[in-house]
Amino acid sequence: MSFRYLSSLALAALLFSSTASAETEVQVPLVVDRPHLEALLGAALGLDESGQGRLQLDNCTFVDLSDLRLEMLDQRLMLDLGLTANTGVMVMGHCRGPAPASSRLHMELKPGIDAEGMAVTFRAEGAELRRPDGSPGLLSRPSRMLADSLVIPRIERTIIDISGVLAAIDDLIETFKPGAMSADALLGQRLRLSRVTAEPAGLRTELAITLRQPPPPAADPEPALQATELLEWQRVEDELDGFLTVLVARLASQADDRDLQLDLLALLLESRQRIAEALLVDDPIDDPVRVLFLDAWNGLRPLLARLEPMNVADDRDLRLAGFIAAGDALTALDALGPEFGLELSRDGLRRLARMLLAGSAPLSFTPLPLAEDPDLRRLFGLSPGGPTIGPSLPAVPWWQRLLPLAHADTLPLAESLRGVVASPATLTEYLQLVSQLLDAVYAEHMDSTSRIPADYRELFRPLVQTTAWRESCWRHYVGPVDEPRVIRSSVGAVGMMQIMGRVWRGVYDVKRLEAEIEYNIAAGIEILEHYLVDYALRRGEHEHPGGTDNLVRATYAAYNGGPRHLSRHRRDDTPASLRAIDESFWNEFVQIREQGWPPVAGCFSVGQ
């Protein structure tokens, strides 16, 4: 991909309505950036990868081209090109003539729109030759002749064909149209280019969508979702989850900026968190998938603007700009009101993905993968082989076990807690074993893959222990002693560290998060480190009043609610319920840090 989108146009777009025709026109921007324009013009002039090219009239008369530059000056597109003219005649098999004359060709390119409204055209104005240093001066007539006959005509034959993008957006609207309305009933006229101007980012075009006024909605309220409709809604949510995962992973892998990568990954985590929460709604009044899509797009769009220009060779068909324009079009249509609004579909998401990913877009984003994805883990800065757990975890003598096995003298520490529910009779022994396991997994992580700077490592051990206590009271299993079940929250967080498999799928193996206590703990430690290093420290939480204590508070807040909660502990608008969670966590952290033991009475009755 080769260009970035830098416009800050409000996504509601510019709306123009006509009462006579009952039509509404929506203007959606599409910007082609300067690197892409330079590559397009360079290709038209036959420049190679080094920026060099030659245009010939015959073997002895030709012009060598080099160093093509574009500048945007006061909304004018200016071209500057190195030109060396060679003129002569063939005499006895050799070219004879004056020495080559070097100059620079300067001109303004006036962008326009072709008659069909499907392509951007260019007209050269004010062309002049200057000395190689850019200063004016008398230059050879042959140089001007070659520029007029060979260079300028090629530039003026150059077009930016937008027809493929326009057709793709037309088709996309078909799949997102409301209800049973046909695309012809919605679209008064197919998409077309209505305006093109030069701006600092590149060429800004406006795509005009003319919509017919749909019939008013029925007065009767929509009936409640049937079981089959509810199931289909949940399937579309899964498809949205998969769509965002594939998209964010692709964009993050192509971004050279680590800050941008982390912001993209934060958007993925936030969107997954919201999808998981939406799945708890049994009978939604509004379409939650539509809202989730629009919110995700509003978060993604400014991140797309930060993508650095990439290799233009694989993006001659304006995939990134077309993808952005398509998302803007859908958002603008939705802003017109529910009668125009979106109905998200699995097919629609796949079409939108193919606009950016082309042939590499999957046929379907479901079923959702549940195992670890090494590439996704690399993007998060984690070891592709999974969390660090292994045979170095200590064993427990038989007389220290809660459930002794007669056939073994010792048992791995994690195995000794497998299937064990904390009970009054063994509570002290149980908590001691959990403390040992937390310390063992923590030590193995710190000895192998930890990225925590030395100055902050003393905070991390009590942070891990307190998070496990706040999230689960150091429990992996609950229920009757003889019928244990893995502890699970209302939003699907599982195990001792209460990790949401829906949010962290691909980064962790969802099944192992439930089945293996040590894996659950190791995953929680990695997530805490991710939020501490990549968010709390990177964003300077410790530079606010409160100092390094803020790192602890911010890391847990992000762990508990997602990246957007990072600074909630110090914001005035934080809801009282979240403030209470953060205050309880901090009190428990202080006790564990100072006394080395959690406040047991806060979870288990005194005397148990």
Cβ atoms of 382 and 526 within 8 Å: the answer is yes
Q: What is the model's pLDDT at position 358?
A: 83
Least confident range of 144-148, 180-184, 328-332, 459-463: 180-184
Note whether 168 and 327 are within 8 A (CB).
no
Percent of the chain with pLDDT over 70: 83
Contact (CB, 8 A) for 199 and 217? no
pLDDT higher than 90, residue 321:
no
Kindly tell me the sign of the dihedral angle through the C-alpha atoms of 15, 18, 24, 29.
negative
pLDDT in tens, 405-433: 444 456 678 888 989 999 888 899 899 99
State residue 138 phi and psi, 5-degree precision: -75, 130
With a CB cutoff of 8 Å and minimum separation 6, the contacts of 212 are 22, 23, 185, 186, 187, 188
Helix (H) or strand (E) holding 442: helix 427-448
Q: Give which of 166, 164, 128, 132 is closest to 147, Cα–Cα.
A: 128
- In 229-388, the DSSP E strands lie at none
Q: What is the CATH number of domain 395-602?
A: 1.10.530
Output the pLDDT for position 591: 97
Q: For 28-78, what is each residue's pLDDT tens digit? A: 999 888 888 888 899 899 999 899 999 998 889 999 999 999 998 888 999
**Residue 505 or 343, more confident:** 505
- Residue 242 tokens read as 């998969």
One-letter amino acid identity for 165? V
d(CA 29, CA 9): 8
Q: What is the mean pLDDT of the chain?
A: 84
pLDDT band at 182 (very low <50, low <70, confident <90, very high): low
* CB under 8 A, 24+ apart: contacts of 396-399: 396/433, 396/436
CB 211 within 8 A of CB 260: no
In this predicted model, what pLDDT tens digit does every residue of 434-477 receive, in sequence order?
Answer: 999 999 999 999 988 899 999 999 999 999 999 999 999 999 99
- How is the chain split into domains, by residue range? 395-602
Q: Count of CB atoms within 10 A of residue 244's CB?
A: 26
CB-based contacts of 234, cutoff 8 Å, min separation 6: 279
**Cβ-count burial 358-384 (b if 16+ within 10 Å, e if not):** eeebeeebbeeeeebbeebbebbbbee
Helix ranges (H only) for 88-147 are 141-146
